Amino acid sequence: MTTQPSKIRLDVAAYGIPAGNYALPGLTHARTIADGTEADELRIADRFARHFTGQLPVSDLTEAEYNLIRTELHEQIAERREQALERFQRAVPRRFAAARPGSLSAAWVAQLTTDPHSARSLLFTGTVGTGKTHSAWSALRGVAETGTNLRFLAITEADLFARLRPGGSANPESELEALASVDLLFVDDLGAAKNTEWTEEITYRLINRRYEACQPCIFTTNAAALELPAVVGDRIASRLRQMCDLIPMTGDDRRKGDTK
């Protein structure tokens, strides 16, 4: 009988890093803290292996072993953070480039990066100009700043329908698959378009796919919570209520008087 290898277990909380895939230290790294003998190198490498399979807790690591592992993982996070922020800067509209996450967004980002499939989606509601889109982009920046591997895609509802409408792209089904499968999806101005049988079916297919797969989303809408069934349909509104944390945005239209 062949013994199956133990699964890798990385205590992300102990190292202060988001969940994700990492290149773990091995023999090469062990040499940097060994006493110069091959036997000690192999001993430390074996301790690393046992640590990453749950057989050796963090508390039983030496200070040198713990610091080496933590430094190596944080170097990887720093590189990923730089890459993620570069992707964010390429995607964010200039209008929202300065958006920074507040305490609410930061709490959601922490949950999202710990376990994406258990994290709630966000639904920002409110009248025109109350800062919904700004808040959504600030949350996306927060995700990028963690250096997590999550990839996001941002699109307005109008552009979504233009992309998926027959004749709007070479392969609407492939476009729908890309939207349905991306790690994190942001749809701005949900319910802004006239609700037709086609738009409701497309929106339902997209949201239902992500609902069933427990994939996180961010939505903004000008509709109040009680208006959602009339705006997007009962099936979609029901799923949004279950999968999303509702965040009402209030106040006057911030665009009034803004001439930029």
Of 42, 214, 257, whose CA–CA distance to 112 is shortest?
Answer: 214
Percentage of residues of the chain with pLDDT beyond 70? 93
Q: How far is CA 136 from CA 39, 91, 114, 175, in A?
A: 53, 13, 19, 22
Confidence of residue 104 (pLDDT cuts 50, 70, 90): confident
pLDDT in tens, 33-75: 999 999 999 999 999 999 999 999 999 999 999 999 999 999 9
Beta bridge partners of 188: 156
Burial class (CB in 10 A: 0-12, 13-18, 19+), 3: exposed
pLDDT in tens, 113-135: 888 889 999 999 999 889 999 99
Confidence of residue 169 (pLDDT cuts 50, 70, 90): low
Q: Residue 4 has what pLDDT?
A: 42
pLDDT at 1 over 50: no
Beta bridge partners of 155: 187
CB 203 within 8 A of CB 237: no
pLDDT at 260 over 70: no
- The span from the CA of 247 to the CA of 158, in Å, is 22
pLDDT in tens, 4-33: 445 788 888 899 888 778 999 999 999 999
- The span from the CA of 112 to the CA of 172, in Å, is 29
Full-model pTM: 0.83
- The span from the CA of 207 to the CA of 121, in Å, is 11
Structural domains of the chain ordered from first start? 12-83 (no CATH), 100-248 (3.40.50.300)
Q: What angle do CA 156, 184, 240 make, to 5 degrees?
A: 70
Confidence of residue 258 (pLDDT cuts 50, 70, 90): low
pLDDT at 89 over 50: yes
Rounded mean pLDDT of 153-176?
Answer: 88
pLDDT at 255 over 60: yes
- The span from the CA of 66 to the CA of 59, in Å, is 9
Q: Name the residue type at position 59.
A: S
